[in-house]
Amino acid sequence: MHISLVIPTFNRERLLPRTIPALLAQRTEGFTYEIIFVINGSTDSSEQILADAAERNPSRLRYFKLPPTGGPSAPRNRGIQEAKGEIVIVLDDDVLPDPELLLGHARFHARNPDLNFAAIGELYVPPECKDDPMSLFHDFPYQEFRDVERLEYFYFWTCNVSVKRAFMMQHGMFDERFLGYEDMICGYKLRQAGMELRFVPEARGQHLHQLRADGVAAKGIWYGRWLCALIDHLPQPELMARFGILSPQIGWLLLAKRLIKRLGFHLINNPLTRAALVLAGATAGRRTKLSDLYYYLIFRGHLLKGYSQASEDARTLGKNALLHFPGSHAGQGDMINPSGPS
């Protein structure tokens, strides 16, 4: 078995010296692997770091360059196309893999050789980041499916996922028009083709997130606008239910519950509440329940604002406006749980 690691990257000169050695030191057991980085318009010294690493490890590490695209779809596609392995693992560029991350994926595919089997591994916030208030957005809800055998397509999280390359090339690949939620769109296409998605917690790595507190509002707007594009493209009831979209398609009982919850959110999310949270220490720089509430209100409020703005743009300018919101390289080292805490 030969495995290809595909990693889109953007301006990671500070992280690459940590992640590259860990990627090169993966434990193998009856398989070989290669590492493919795809630079997506980086303006720092990332290319030189990768060039030096490729020169020292010519049989193990390669890299390619693309002009900036604003999102990870195009570099992922390029990496998968260039891959030589029958198994492709897609990682984010801020993932520091545990020594057996590849081994976890390899063992899964050895047990499940059919082309339609895919797996997501687990990422965890390392101790050095747990006190950072921004770790709120990087705790993925793995508890939702630890005891579930077949995962839904919207769990096709490309921060740490493996697929058979042939299956992906034939049925999937990433829609390069979408700079956000492109992983769920790809997962939907693969599921329509019969994908069996499983959770492999032993394929683990640290998530060295880089989200800053002063970027939470902008990130919320960005995710809200692309969420509108996602729902327009895939108006599936299960997606609407997952992201709190108010639509009769989710069922009248759930819609009523969501309306009450939305009203409660708007009652709480006001300048007075946020000011009180600041006075109570929510922005002191250490993660607490107060900081969780404060940054959740900011993120969720701006996500709803972005969704509303995109909906209005679609009504006045046409649906093509949904696909023309500027990119931010989200998903390339800043992948978050976009729904925030429930």
Structural domains in the chain, sorted by start:
2-207 (3.90.550.10), 214-323 (no CATH)
Element (H, E) at 237: helix 237-242
Q: Are 156 and 186 in contact (CB under 8 A)?
A: yes
**Percent of the chain at pLDDT above 70?**
95
Q: Which helix (H) or strand (E) holds 124?
A: strand 117-124
Q: Which amino acid is at 130?
A: K
Q: Residue range 312-325: average pLDDT?
A: 87
Mean pLDDT over 210-221 rounds to: 92
pLDDT band at 325 (very low <50, low <70, confident <90, very high): confident
- Among 200-214, 253-267, 288-302, 311-325, which is the least confidently predicted range? 311-325
pLDDT at 37 over 90: yes
**Mean pLDDT over each residue of the chain, to the nearest integer:** 93
DSSP codes, 263-320: HHHHHH-SHHHHHHHHHTTTTSSS--HHHHHHHHHHHHHHHHHHHHHHHHHHHHH-GG
User: CA distances (Å), 261 to each of 1, 79, 258, 290, in order?
Assistant: 49, 42, 5, 20
Q: Tell me if the pTM is above 0.75.
A: yes
Residue 125's alpha-carbon distances to 95, 176, 196, in angstroms, are 10, 29, 27
DSSP H or E run through 161: strand 160-164
Residue 216 structure tokens: 């939470």
- Asked if residue 331 has pLDDT above 70, the reply is no
Per-residue model confidence (pLDDT) at position 85: 97
- Lookup result for tokens 């030096």: 52
Give burial (CB, 10 Å; 0-12/13-18/19+) of 81: middle
Mean pLDDT of 85-112: 97
What's the confidence (pLDDT) of residue 107? 97
